[in-house]
A and B are shown apart, each in its own frame.
Chain A
């Protein structure tokens, strides 16, 4: 008899495939399946995956899923609801003026991203609060009622309210919502002081607009999901992934659409943080090579870096999100010779349709996958477990005509060139992200996943002088796997923007306690038992006069401190760690933050039986491969991953194959299998 608590599963809806990973707690095993994503209604893919994996829903305790694809598609296809904007009198054009900069600085015809709220649906009301949070002009409720009636006539479905300095004093926004609801109760209203309580009116207002625009869509999707699963006997808990790597239960997720927008790639990073502990590698770079993109994130001291702002389609968004960088480099990246004769790879991609030339589905331009095929990294008869058969001749023809001939190279050199170039673009992206945070990539091992990650890991390890490239279990569905490790999480923040010297410990303590109360209330609402709560304080600080701040850990009790100098010292320590020097000049406290976590016990990984170091049981043959950094091809030994045992050592040159990907072990590398089955590639 299967216990209800025995199963949990996660679903990752990607651009091409919807992946499902199921964890059976009693057996201690993970299993995965893939179905095609159904872009018109992602719910179909979700249900399809559950059916294919034969999950018995009534036995499931928890189901992890992200609403990212739904929210992003609604934004990209402009299928959010009819949304209006309400600002302080004199400021309704802030969303259109934006920050007035030109992201494409050499383009004389540059245009901003299109307005989500057209100008005739942007309204103003008399009210004003100053930078200290004091009311200069009271909210004019009569005007507001007029606006509300107009909104009704205009058949608006959602309203974003953003008043100047509302993050410091939300009274006018809160009152405005009450008044509007009296006139127009069906209207969905988003307040900037609740969506993103941080300074900068354009960014906060835009975040509020996007939340208002998308929330009804996401809410509907979650409602449909709940109904669909309930109808199939599911009685467990649904956990939605947020962009910051935390989770939300389904009901609290409904009003928080904006926090789910970028949660798609979060699973891989959460899995990375989990693996950092399992591997004893607190510093990890996670890399995910998919069909179109290369996603990277840094995990330091076991924690994934979180940033507080990001951008989607040119719109800034002030939400906590995992600092994941993406460049257009993946299996589908197109190779071409540009007009002045230089070889370029990406950022454009052939996508799933038409796909690489070797798919034989009409792809007319060579891709990275075509080059991998030519160089022998991919077995044409066994791609994606044999589900797609590849046309080697089409790949050869494409690269030879379009790349090799114009450059005067032979076929293999041209294919190697494509791979070198895409790998070097990946390497530069990693150097960029490390330089921005002041880190040396050599202090990090790399966790490689996605269908293409294990193919490039060994090269990036060499290129960046990293100590190891590690391939986890189920690399091709690792993002879904990682989602199983999520905890519930609510971040609350308050911008104060004041010099440290003007603050008192008692005052700071009071403000942190207020934030912690908010965090506890949110966790309580989610039904997390108190013993699994974790509240962590931090403050964004900077030297007076700077704009960019650093995040400083703050003790759980400020009462025990003598005075503010220990906070200043803590700030300077962090600053020095990032920038390499201290200035000793006065500091500012910008924002106080409390991270409130409700722990969900993570699945335990089952140890793999130990082998005798010799992988001969897994040996299945040889393959001629052109290592793209070498001049001559070599014979690579081929091993089957599922037959490797813990402590097995595979000496390069070798390929370790599994149905959805291949791990490359270069000639001067050794790959060892760790106790939970991860492949650890390092230089001999």
Chain B
């Protein structure tokens, strides 16, 4: 631990809030000016301010999954270019997955902050562009990184304040949606520029020495909170297992294992025992692995604090090289996010044992990702779009899981309203509703997922990323699993069939697609659930009358819209079940 400054604590706090507000402003600059719903609605981005050593100081609210990944990107980019070759007014673009931790469409923009001719720190933004030089707008079956998009290691798109039109031209020429992509590039550059201007104001006001001292204190403070939280946990070693449905090319499950070791105030997460790197695009570059693990630990250790590098000093991540969590280039990585997220969510299972009041059972585990493209019949133009879906959340030791909520890794990401969806794309949504009985039973019930069905109004080319169709959300402490995710195409027709991770499938005009998103796991024995809660679930239609009896041993009588508990039948059924489970 570095020596904390002697700076007065109030100045530190004032500077901390200045950094936070700067990061928030970078975020609003990006969101306002961006051209693509993946940025302004799905919030698929990350903005942050970093020290000269690329330590995270402050982050604007974006996609939690990207939390802290830019540290890796900045370090790699600066090492590659040489810090002596950075100049005031330079802006660097990187799309290289092994440095950014995600597919090339998640383009990273980095701008060094120069004070008195030296690098003081960096502002950086990673945001998902709609299309960049890949064989398709999204990929589930790529076999190397070149199929996944334009690979730019570290390119100065702005040199000493001047935009390089040749590089912009290269990007434009490598996208099916050039206007949108250039708009987003501009928005990212503006966001970084705003951050730099604000930090320069800060340094001018307090002087570089004070700001440096305050920054060190801010990170030390984060570290103290994390160490304190870890120290309060018992020492020991725990493991959790999980699996991907497949690697995009073959149908076999891909097994993961995560081991948590706590010693004193340090925590290590080791992914040894997980699958080797895969031929399909499910490999997770190390930065992405680290980021997902950090996110879960942050949610457990300090959910109410703004993230900074200090929180992660006591956290170590070990992933053997050549494994699915630390692959070697040019292994394909397009779907790295799913791999990292599924493994990271399994850490909640470990945490449910260590700090039960802070953890949760598992969620439906996926975001039902669907990308589509086609030709708009009204004007013959190419369109591409996409959406994510929510799932049921895991129950906790003291509450039911929330219904219909986005996966934790996506945070503030929102759905595209049906009315906007239909204004934008030739697709008609026919239902969007909660999925009865999808939540895992328990003393506390898992949240229910959703069902969504839509009809193509023109031929659509589909790329679906559906996951966790084979691994239901686990419950905790006797809680049951939720229903898994399912995607079905050509619904109601003789050729109706389930759909897994797929690229390039065509859904002809007039045919339907159905998403059925999974429910969360339950917590505690369903026989311990208060029957009046079960009754309320039945009245609301979250749980069916049949499931109330089958899963909770609560017998419900009803006439039309009037429901009541048959107390005697319930008591004897519950006694019988308890007796049965003890034998």
Interface residues of A (CB under 8 A from B): 89-94, 96-112, 118-120, 130-131, 136, 150, 153-154, 164-165, 199-203, 339-344, 407, 409, 413, 416-417, 420-421, 424-425, 428-429, 431-432, 435-436, 497, 543, 545-548, 578-581, 583, 585
Is B224 positioned at the interface, with any CB of A under 8 Å from its CB? yes
The answer on a CB contact under 8 Å between B561 and A120 is yes
- Chosen A-B contacts, 30 in total, with CB atoms closer than 8 Å, are A89-B431, A90-B429, A90-B430, A96-B404, A97-B434, A99-B414, A101-B411, A102-B410, A105-B411, A111-B402, A119-B540, A120-B541, A130-B422, A136-B428, A150-B561, A200-B417, A200-B420, A202-B417, A203-B417, A342-B13, A343-B13, A420-B14, A421-B10, A435-B25, A436-B25, A436-B32, A543-B183, A547-B37, A548-B40, A579-B33
The residue from A136, A164, A435 contacting B419, defined by CB atoms under 8 A apart: A164
Q: In the bound complex, how far is the Cα of B33 from the Cα of A163, in angstroms?
A: 31
How many CB-defined contacts (below 8 Å) exist between A and B? Answer: 202
The residue from A154, A432, A585 contacting B21, defined by CB atoms under 8 A apart: A432
The answer on a CB contact under 8 Å between A106 and B431 is no
Chain B, residues 21-35, CB within 8 Å of chain A (1/0): the string is 100110011011111
Is B120 positioned at the interface, with any CB of A under 8 Å from its CB? no
A-side contacts of B572, CB under 8 Å: none
In the complex, what's the smallest C-beta–C-beta distance from A631 to chain B, in angstroms? 11
Which of B14, B18, B348, B413 has its CB near the most chain A CB atoms (within 10 A)?
B14
The answer on a CB contact under 8 Å between B17 and A425 is yes
Q: In the bound complex, how far is the Cα of B25 from the Cα of A343, in angstroms?
A: 24
Which of A97, A201, A417 has its CB near the most chain B CB atoms (within 10 A)?
A97
Closest to B345 in A: A108
Q: Enumerate the 6 nearest inter-chain pairs by beta-carbon distance, A residue then B residue, closest first.
A: A90-B431, A105-B411, A100-B390, A417-B10, A99-B414, A119-B540
The answer on a CB contact under 8 Å between A341 and B224 is yes
Q: In the bound complex, how far is the Cα of B404 from the Cα of A92, in angstroms?
A: 14
Scan residues 504-562 of chain B and give those whose CB is less than 8 A from a CB of chain A.
Answer: 539-542, 561
The answer on a CB contact under 8 Å between B432 and A93 is yes
Closest to A435 in B: B25
The answer on a CB contact under 8 Å between A112 and B402 is yes
Q: In the bound complex, how far is the Cα of B406 from the Cα of A543, in angstroms?
A: 29
Main SS of chain A's interface residues? Answer: loop
A-side contacts of B190, CB under 8 Å: 579-580
What 4 new A-B contacts, CB under 8 Å, besides A97-B434, A131-B419?
A: A108-B348, A432-B21, A436-B25, A545-B183
Which of A96, A150, A543 has its CB near the most chain B CB atoms (within 10 A)?
A96
A-side contacts of B433, CB under 8 Å: 90-93
The answer on a CB contact under 8 Å between B412 and A103 is yes
Q: In the bound complex, how far is the Cα of B20 from the Cα of A466, in angstroms?
A: 22
Is B239 positioned at the interface, with any CB of A under 8 Å from its CB? no
The residue from A98, A131, A431 contacting B25, defined by CB atoms under 8 A apart: A431
In the complex, what's the smallest C-beta–C-beta distance from B67 to chain A, in angstroms? 9
A-side contacts of B221, CB under 8 Å: 340-342
Q: In the bound complex, how far is the Cα of B25 from the Cα of A3, in angstroms?
A: 54
- Interface segment among B78-86, B96-104, B260-268, B295-303: the answer is B295-303
The answer on a CB contact under 8 Å between A432 and B17 is no
Q: In the bound complex, how far is the Cα of B408 from the Cα of A109, in angstroms?
A: 10
Quick one: given A97-B404, A102-B406, A579-B32, are A339 and B399 in contact (CB under 8 Å)?
Answer: no
Is B36 positioned at the interface, with any CB of A under 8 Å from its CB? yes
Q: In the bound complex, how far is the Cα of B226 from the Cα of A427, in angstroms?
A: 29
Q: In the bound complex, how far is the Cα of B8 from the Cα of A422, in angstroms?
A: 16
The residue from A91, A200, A407, A545 contacting B432, defined by CB atoms under 8 A apart: A91
The answer on a CB contact under 8 Å between A545 and B403 is no
How many B residues are at the interface, by size bracket?
A: 35 or more
B-side contacts of A409, CB under 8 Å: 8
Closest to A497 in B: B423
Quick one: given A92-B433, A94-B432, A428-B18, are A547 and B9 in contact (CB under 8 Å)?
Answer: no
The residue from B40, B432, B453, B540 contacting A120, defined by CB atoms under 8 A apart: B540
Closest to B186 in A: A581
Closest to A102 in B: B411
The answer on a CB contact under 8 Å between B28 and A436 is yes
Closest to A585 in B: B179
The residue from B17, B300, B417 contacting A201, defined by CB atoms under 8 A apart: B417
Q: In the bound complex, how far is the Cα of B20 from the Cα of A264, in angstroms?
A: 29
A-side contacts of B358, CB under 8 Å: 108
Q: In the bound complex, how far is the Cα of B560 from the Cα of A150, in angstroms?
A: 11
In the complex, what's the smallest C-beta–C-beta distance from B406 to chain A, in angstroms? 5
Which of B25, B61, B298, B542 has its CB near the most chain A CB atoms (within 10 A)?
B25
Quick one: given A100-B415, A424-B14, are A118 and B540 in contact (CB under 8 Å)?
Answer: yes
The answer on a CB contact under 8 Å between B224 and A108 is no
The residue from B41, B299, B429 contacting A107, defined by CB atoms under 8 A apart: B299
B-side contacts of A110, CB under 8 Å: 402, 405
Closest to B453 in A: A90
In the complex, what's the smallest C-beta–C-beta distance from A317 to chain B, in angstroms? 15
Q: In the bound complex, how far is the Cα of B393 from the Cα of A360, in angstroms?
A: 46
A-side contacts of B24, CB under 8 Å: 432
In the complex, what's the smallest C-beta–C-beta distance from B361 to chain A, in angstroms? 10
The answer on a CB contact under 8 Å between B422 and A165 is yes
Q: In the bound complex, how far is the Cα of B9 from the Cα of A435, in angstroms?
A: 27
Closest to B399 in A: A109
B-side contacts of A164, CB under 8 Å: 418-419, 422
Quick one: given A131-B419, A164-B419, A343-B9, are A102 and B32 in contact (CB under 8 Å)?
Answer: no
In the complex, what's the smallest C-beta–C-beta distance from B415 to chain A, in angstroms? 5
In the complex, what's the smallest C-beta–C-beta distance from A368 to chain B, in angstroms? 14
Is B216 positioned at the interface, with any CB of A under 8 Å from its CB? no
Closest to A419 in B: B10
A-side contacts of B18, CB under 8 Å: 424, 428
Scan residues 289-334 of chain B and give those whose CB is less than 8 A from a CB of chain A.
Answer: 298-300, 302-304, 307
In the complex, what's the smallest C-beta–C-beta distance from A509 to chain B, in angstroms? 23
Closest to B424 in A: A131
Scan residues 165-216 of chain B and give those whose CB is less than 8 A from a CB of chain A.
Answer: 179-180, 183, 186, 190, 194
Q: In the bound complex, how far is the Cα of B539 from the Cα of A200, in angstroms?
A: 28
Is B269 positioned at the interface, with any CB of A under 8 Å from its CB? no
Is B228 positioned at the interface, with any CB of A under 8 Å from its CB? yes
Is B465 positioned at the interface, with any CB of A under 8 Å from its CB? no
Quick one: given A105-B61, A199-B417, A417-B10, are A120 and B183 in contact (CB under 8 Å)?
Answer: no
B-side contacts of A106, CB under 8 Å: 64, 298-299, 302-304, 307
Quick one: given A101-B413, A424-B14, are A340 and B404 in contact (CB under 8 Å)?
Answer: no
B-side contacts of A417, CB under 8 Å: 8-10
Is B124 positioned at the interface, with any CB of A under 8 Å from its CB? no
The residue from A99, A131, A344 contacting B415, defined by CB atoms under 8 A apart: A99
Closest to B34 in A: A546
Q: In the bound complex, how far is the Cα of B405 from the Cα of A138, in angstroms?
A: 32
B-side contacts of A340, CB under 8 Å: 221, 224-225, 228
Is B460 positioned at the interface, with any CB of A under 8 Å from its CB? no
In the complex, what's the smallest C-beta–C-beta distance from A11 to chain B, in angstroms? 36
Is B70 positioned at the interface, with any CB of A under 8 Å from its CB? no
In the complex, what's the smallest C-beta–C-beta distance from B508 to chain A, in angstroms? 19
A-side contacts of B29, CB under 8 Å: 435
Q: In the bound complex, how far is the Cα of B28 from the Cα of A436, in angstroms?
A: 6
The residue from B20, B225, B428, B542 contacting A119, defined by CB atoms under 8 A apart: B542
B-side contacts of A118, CB under 8 Å: 540
Quick one: given A108-B299, A543-B35, are A421 and B13 in contact (CB under 8 Å)?
Answer: yes
The answer on a CB contact under 8 Å between B417 and A545 is no
Quick one: given A108-B299, A200-B417, A341-B224, are A130 and B10 in contact (CB under 8 Å)?
Answer: no
Is B110 positioned at the interface, with any CB of A under 8 Å from its CB? no
B-side contacts of A120, CB under 8 Å: 539-541, 561
